[in-house]
């Protein structure tokens, strides 16, 4: 599974190490040394994957991800950083990164992460978002829970016909829950949908994604009717109109 990959890393030795390993696996690799150069390379070539260091001159990695997603570019992003606090990791994921590794890291583990991202994207049959539909769902099969509609093949979400923009992590959680409406998903089960993320990621990651999803798909996010908390267990996705009919009967 050969791919076009951009490595954005200002540490020359680190960049060379990553380049050698990627090329050994058959990938075409372009190395840049700062954030602006990374943006220019993505805009020019639309590669399959960006391996992106966070601490870089001329726009850091977080700014690069923020700009790429704002421009609607869905290139896969695997972030590398010496930072290991949960807030930093959550920020990277929330901005739209697909995976996150902290330094120092094993080059072999990095190659495994790259293979996982590319394989997941290949299965999705869609643009490079790092998001694949659940295995039990056909690639072209849209999912509906009431007026909420999730299209895995097109990576599109809408509520009552109004488009909703989701990060890759948000989309992955929503698509998984939509395959089984009203089923309670534990945080651990939802973390499995976000597989491949760094070992520092905790249950709080799911809570952050749920909080942001509610702001996007609920009429009143503080009084959710669609994405519900089941206290002590996890979350479930339901059709509020159906629940209202049952309550009246």
210 Cβ neighbours under 8 A, 6+ residues apart: 173, 227, 229, 235
Q: Using CA atoms, how far apart are residues 201 and 97, in angstroms rounded to an integer?
A: 13
Q: Give me the pLDDT at residue 13, please.
A: 93
List pLDDT tens digits, range 76-96: 999 888 766 666 666 777 777
What is the per-residue pLDDT for 187? Answer: 87
187: its two tokens = 């945080």
Cα first-last separation, the chain = 55
Q: What is the pLDDT of residue 82?
A: 77
230 forms bridges with which residues in the sheet? 234
- Identify the bridge partners of residue 49 per DSSP, sorted by sequence position: 5, 76
Q: Quick one: which of 172, 146, 129 has its CA closest to 241? A: 146
Q: Can you tell me the distance from the alpha carbon of 79 to that of 77, in angstroms, rounded to the nearest whole number?
A: 6
Q: What is the pLDDT of residue 201?
A: 55
pLDDT at residue 132, rounded to an integer: 37
Instruction: Find out whether the peptide bond into 104 is cis, omega within 30 degrees of 0.
Output: yes
Phi, psi (degrees; rounded to nearest 5) at 194 = -100, 30
- pLDDT for the residue numbered 32: 95
Strand partners, 30: 6
For residue 101, which of 77, 87, 81 has the smallest C-alpha distance? 81
In the prediction, which pLDDT does 80 show?
87
188/176 Cα distance (integer angstroms) = 13
Q: What is the mean pLDDT of each run of 10 residues along the chain (249 residues)?
A: 90 94 95 95 92 89 90 88 67 78 85 82 46 41 92 88 85 90 91 59 74 92 94 93 69
At 5 the pLDDT is 96
The pLDDT value recorded for residue 198 is: 45
Contact 6, 32 (CB under 8 A): yes
Q: Which domains does the chain have, with CATH numbers?
A: 4-124 (3.40.50.2300), 143-248 (1.10.10.10)
Cβ-based neighbours of 194, under 8 Å, separated by 6 or more: 93, 169, 172, 173, 201, 205, 206, 209
Residue 162 β-bridge partners: 159
Rounded CA gap, 81 and 151, in Å?
A: 33
């Amino acid at each position: 599974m050969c791919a076009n990959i951009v490595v954005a890393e200002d540490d020359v030795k680190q960049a060379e190490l990553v380049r050698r390993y990627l090329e050994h696996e058959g990938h075409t690799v372009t190395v840049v040394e700062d954030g602006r150069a990374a943006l220019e390379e993505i805009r020019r070539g639309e590669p399959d994957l960006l391996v992106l260091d966070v601490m870089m001159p001329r726009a850091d990695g977080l700014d690069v991800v923020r700009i790429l997603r704002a421009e609607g570019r869905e290139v896969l992003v695997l972030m590398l950083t010496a930072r290991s606090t949960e807030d930093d990791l959550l920020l990277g994921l929330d901005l739209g990164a697909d995976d996150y590794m902290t330094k120092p890291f094993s080059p072999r583990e990095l190659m495994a992460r790259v293979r996982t991202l590319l394989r997941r994207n290949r299965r999705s049959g869609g643009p490079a978002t790092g998001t694949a539909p659940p295995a039990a769902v056909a690639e072209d099969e849209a999912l509906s829970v009431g007026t909420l509609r999730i299209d895995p093949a097109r990576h599109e979400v809408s509520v009552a016909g109004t488009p909703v923009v989701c990060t890759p992590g948000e989309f992955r959680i929503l698509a998984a829950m939509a395959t089984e409406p009203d089923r309670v998903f534990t945080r651990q089960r939802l973390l499995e949908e976000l597989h491949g993320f760094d070992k520092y990621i905790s249950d709080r990651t799911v809570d952050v994604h749920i909080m942001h999803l509610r702001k996007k798909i609920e009429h009143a996010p503080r009084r959710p009717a669609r994405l519900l908390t089941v206290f002590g267990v996890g979350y479930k996705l339901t059709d509020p109109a159906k629940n209202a009919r049952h309550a009246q009967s």
